[in-house]
C-alpha cells in the first residue's frame, strides 16, 4: 500500500469533479457526454474538451457516440476523491452537527483540499465508518467500494415491511422533505397500500401514516431489518 502522504495524485479540482461524476454515472456502461454535461451543469463543448484532456492523461477512454468510461487509473482517482467527500460528510454530520441536506454542498468545497494525513485522522476519529450520512458506501483506503445497499422503495409491494438503508443525496429540498416524513436511515416502513398506474404509496413510517408519490419513493432505498447491520 502507498504511504498516507503520497497515495493520491492530484489532477486539479475540475478534473477530479469529472472523474467523480463519471464514476457515479457510469454503472455497467459508458456515460454519454450529454449526460455528463447535465450532471455537472456545463456545456457539451466543455465536456468534450475536458474529456479529451482526461484521455490524454490515460484517466478515461472516450469513444465518440458511445460515451466515456474510466481507466483503472481514472477509477482509482475517482474513488479517492469520493472517499474524501463521503468521509467529510460524516465528519460534518457526526461531529459538527450539519444536517444530511447540508453536508454534500459543504463537502464539495472541501474535498479537493484535504491531505491524506487529514483524511486518515478523520477516519480514525469517526471509528472507520463504512457509509456516509445518506447510506452511500465510503471507498476504502485501498480503493475498494461496497455495492450500493437497498432497492427502491417504489418497487415495494403492499404489506412489505422494510427499513431505510440509503437515500439519494442530490437534492437538499428532497432530503429536507424526507426528513420531515421521518425517513431517516434505519426508519421502519410498512407499505399499507400501493395504487396502480404509478399511483402513490401509503406508508406507515415508524408510527405515522404517510402518502408519497412514486417519484419521491424512487429516491429512497430500503432493505430488510437485518440489512441494517451492514450500514
Backbone angles phi, psi at 113, to 5 degrees: -115, -5
d(CA 211, CA 192): 10
Please name every residue paired with 164 in a beta bridge, in sequence order, or none if there are none: 222
The structural domains of the chain, with segments of one domain joined by +, span 4-73, 151-230
- The one-digit pLDDT tens for each residue of the chain (231 residues) are 344 444 556 678 899 999 999 999 987 789 999 999 999 999 999 999 999 999 999 999 998 888 999 999 999 999 999 999 999 999 999 999 999 999 999 999 999 999 999 999 999 999 999 999 999 999 999 999 999 889 999 999 999 999 999 999 888 999 999 999 999 999 999 999 999 999 999 999 988 999 999 999 999 999 987 777 665
| 39, 22, 31, 34: CA torsion to nearest 10 | 30
For 4-73, the fitting CATH number among 3.60.10.10, 1.10.10.10, 3.90.25.10, 3.40.50.2000 is 1.10.10.10
CATH architecture of 151-230: Roll (2.30)
From the list 228, 201, 204, the residue with the least C-alpha distance to 216 is 201
Instruction: Determine phi and psi for 152, rounding to 5 degrees.
Output: -60, 135
- State the residue for C-alpha cell 467529510: 88
In 3D space, the residue among 155, 145, 140 whose CA is nearest the CA of residue 221 turns out to be 155
Amino acid at each position: 500500500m502507498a504511504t498516507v502522504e503520497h497515495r493520491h495524485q492530484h489532477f486539479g479540482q475540475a478534473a477530479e469533479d469529472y472523474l467523480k461524476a463519471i464514476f457515479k454515472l457510469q454503472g455497467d456502461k459508458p456515460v454519454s457526454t450529454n449526460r455528463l454535461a447535465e450532471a455537472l451543469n456545463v456545456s457539451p463543448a466543455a465536456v468534450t474538451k475536458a474529456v479529451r484532456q482526461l484521455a490524454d492523461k490515460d484517466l478515461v477512454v472516450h469513444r465518440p457516440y458511445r460515451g466515456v468510461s474510466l481507466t483503472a487509473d481514472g477509477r482509482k482517482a475517482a474513488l479517492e476523491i469520493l472517499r474524501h467527500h463521503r468521509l467529510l460528510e460524516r465528519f460534518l454530520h457526526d461531529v459538527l452537527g450539519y444536517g444530511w441536506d447540508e453536508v454534500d454542498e459543504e463537502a464539495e468545497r472541501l474535498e479537493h483540499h484535504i491531505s491524506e494525513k487529514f483524511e486518515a485522522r478523520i477516519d480514525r476519529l469517526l471509528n472507520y465508518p463504512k457509509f456516509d450520512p445518506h447510506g452511500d458506501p465510503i471507498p476504502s483506503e485501498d480503493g475498494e467500494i461496497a455495492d450500493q445497499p437497498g432497492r427502491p422503495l417504489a418497487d415495494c409491494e403492499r404489506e412489505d415491511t422494510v427499513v431505510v438503508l440509503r437515500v439519494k443525496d442530490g437534492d437538499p429540498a428532497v432530503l429536507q422533505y424526507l426528513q420531515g416524513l421521518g425517513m431517516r436511515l434505519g426508519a421502519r416502513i410498512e407499505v399499507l397500500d400501493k395504487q396502480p398506474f404509478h399511483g402513490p404509496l401509503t406508508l406507515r413510517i415508524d408510527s405515522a401514516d404517510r402518502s408519497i408519490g412514486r417519484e419521491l419513493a424512487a429516491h429512497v432505498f430500503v432493505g430488510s431489518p437485518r440489512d441494517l447491520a451492514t450500514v
